[in-house]
Amino acid sequence: MQIEYKNNKIKFERELSNLDKLVLSFTHILDKHKIKYVIISGYVAILFGRSRNTEDVDLFIEEIPMQKFLDFWNDLYETGFECINESSPKEAYNFYLKENTAIRFAVKGTFIWNFEVKF
């Protein structure tokens, strides 16, 4: 796989897996709300061709105000995602994210794959 790094972007071509498509769907919502994020952990290795399994994609997001988080939360729900460890967005924000604990989002009715999100 040929990798190109230019203008703070990494570019390479390969066929997208179902996990890749899901990650693009989730990160599209982050981008839509102008939330800065970084993907960390196992998915990065998978993205660059390592053969391994994962049940989640770990992300750090910038600390954002409550209203921006609520808008993001609502957009995720409208797009078919749900938080699997907290049903209240205000509690997810105050008792998870603000306390440096991750919240997890997955496609409604599923658990694998999920997105583990922390500030």
Instruction: Count the domains in the chain.
Output: 1
The DSSP bridge pattern shows strands 37-40 and 56-61 to be antiparallel
Q: Which pLDDT score is estimated for 50?
A: 87
| Residue 110 lies in domain | 13-118
Q: What is the pLDDT of residues 28-62, one digit of tens each?
A: 999 999 999 999 989 999 988 888 889 999 999 99
Q: Which pLDDT score is estimated for 91?
A: 98
Q: Which region among 1-10, 21-30, 54-63, 73-82 has the lowest average model confidence (pLDDT)? A: 1-10
Report whether pLDDT(102) > 90.
Answer: yes
CB distance 61 to 118 below 8 Å: yes
Question: What CATH number has the domain bearing residue 52?
Answer: 3.30.460.40
